[in-house]
Amino acid sequence: MSRLKLSGLSKRFGAFLAVDGIDLELQSGEFVSLLGPSGCGKTTTLRMIAGFVDPTLGTIEMDGQVLSSPAGSIPPDRRQMSMIFQSYAIWPNMTVEQNVAFGLELRRIPDAEVKRRVGEMLEVVHMNHLADRYPAELSGGQQQRVALARAIVIRPSVLLLDEPLSNLDATLREEMRFEIRRLHDEFRVTTVYVTHDQAEAMVTSDRIAVMNHGHIEQVDHPRALYNNPKTRFVAGFIGRTNFIEGTSDGSEISFDGFALPRSAFERDVPSQGKAVFSVRPHSMRLSSVPSTARDGCTSIGVIVLERAFLGEHWDYVVKSREGALTLKVTTSPLDDFAVGAAAWLEFEPRHMASIA
């Protein structure tokens, strides 16, 4: 039985359908991210899991028990969860130690035990030397660590994080991503993490649920999500990509200016009619001579339209010589092609993901 189960979960605010029929299951100890642009319903979903918002339709179950349903919900303070807020919500009227001890004291744990566990927890997040400080005297990153300590010390049934890194600067954000994953590896708390930053989701998560317009587009492991996006939205949201359209006649897919055998693709391609593929810019090769045809691969002649040198790589925009295909291509910094130069672009079918 899964630890947390969302079934057909929906939330309507007036005429606006914020969350539209979400199904998601988390195993115990799993770290799942809800990733999507702002307004996609990810925070509302998280707040329904926490119990701050009641669903309009659907249920939330934990270990088989219904927590939320349109008929009524268990209030947040009875769910044994904890949450990290976007603003951290560290109480400024309490010291670091008092903040972290708060949840334990509510559980009527003996003072000595509280003190020991708070001490251990602060050590884990490297904050024990600041235990007596007030939050106003801490940096953003330190407040974030206090928030983590306060949430984890009670050993919650589920840990919820609501864009916890969005208020930090870039360097600190990168550091805290690994810190969050490290704490997860240490405590194995079932975690739901809301973010709009794909890198954050990729670093921290076991699985990522990509959300758009209130529903889940795809739930998968980070690598699968990147390599095999199932929808146009997922392909475009996670990393940069090119969309190319082809027509399938059952044995061959013909594109604008070239064709590939249908059998060369690893994943299912429609047998008839239109097929759309996502091709990552760095999964194509740009070279000055046509490559020798390997199985399934094909090369087409292109002209370089634009280019930009970014240090670690080149970004090119190329156009096929026969046809109107325009593509973004990323190459190594050594592959130098002038604007207007003719070149060859090589496709590999296994790097082309057919999307719905």
Q: What residue ranges bind another protein (CB under 8 A)?
A: 28-29, 50-52, 62-63, 65-67, 69, 71-83, 85-87, 89, 91-93, 102-103, 106-107, 150-151, 154-157, 160, 187-189
CB closer to another protein out of 164 and 229 = 164
Minimum distance between the CB of residue 53 and another protein, rounded to whole angstroms?
11
CB closer to another protein out of 181 and 351 = 181
Give the containing element (helix H, strand E) for 249.
none
Query: Cβ contacts of residue 174 below 8 Å, gap of 6+?
Result: none
* d(C-alpha 149, C-alpha 99), whole Å: 9
**If 0-12 CB within 10 Å is exposed, 13-18 middle and 19+ buried, where does residue 307 land?**
middle
**Cβ(312)–Cβ(324) under 8 Å?**
no
CB closer to another protein out of 168 and 276 = 168
Minimum distance between the CB of residue 157 and another protein, rounded to whole angstroms?
5
CB closer to another protein out of 85 and 344 = 85
CB closer to another protein out of 83 and 238 = 83
**Cβ(36)–Cβ(59) under 8 Å?**
no
CB closer to another protein out of 160 and 238 = 160
Minimum distance between the CB of residue 40 and another protein, rounded to whole angstroms?
20
Task: Annotate 337-350 with DSSP letters as a single string.
Answer: --TT-EEEEEE-GG
DSSP-based three-state secondary structure for 76:
helix
- Six-digit token string for 267: 């994943």
Minimum distance between the CB of residue 348 and another protein, rounded to whole angstroms?
44
* d(C-alpha 316, C-alpha 11), whole Å: 43
* d(C-alpha 159, C-alpha 152), whole Å: 8
Minimum distance between the CB of residue 328 and another protein, rounded to whole angstroms?
38
CB closer to another protein out of 6 and 352 = 6
**Tally of residues, the chain:** 356
CB closer to another protein out of 13 and 243 = 13
Minimum distance between the CB of residue 190 and another protein, rounded to whole angstroms?
8
* d(C-alpha 286, C-alpha 240), whole Å: 17
Minimum distance between the CB of residue 178 and another protein, rounded to whole angstroms?
22
Query: Cβ contacts of residue 168 below 8 Å, gap of 6+?
Result: 140, 141, 144, 176
User: What's 124's DSSP letter?
Assistant: H
Q: Find, among 213, 212, 234, the residue nearest to 224 by Cα.
A: 234
Q: Find, among 266, 252, 293, the residue nearest to 349 by Cα.
A: 266
CB closer to another protein out of 105 and 111 = 105
Minimum distance between the CB of residue 263 and another protein, rounded to whole angstroms?
48
* d(C-alpha 9, C-alpha 17), whole Å: 11
Minimum distance between the CB of residue 71 and another protein, rounded to whole angstroms?
3
CB atoms closer than 10 angstroms to residue 127 = 21
Minimum distance between the CB of residue 82 and another protein, rounded to whole angstroms?
6
CB closer to another protein out of 86 and 166 = 86
DSSP-based three-state secondary structure for 133:
coil
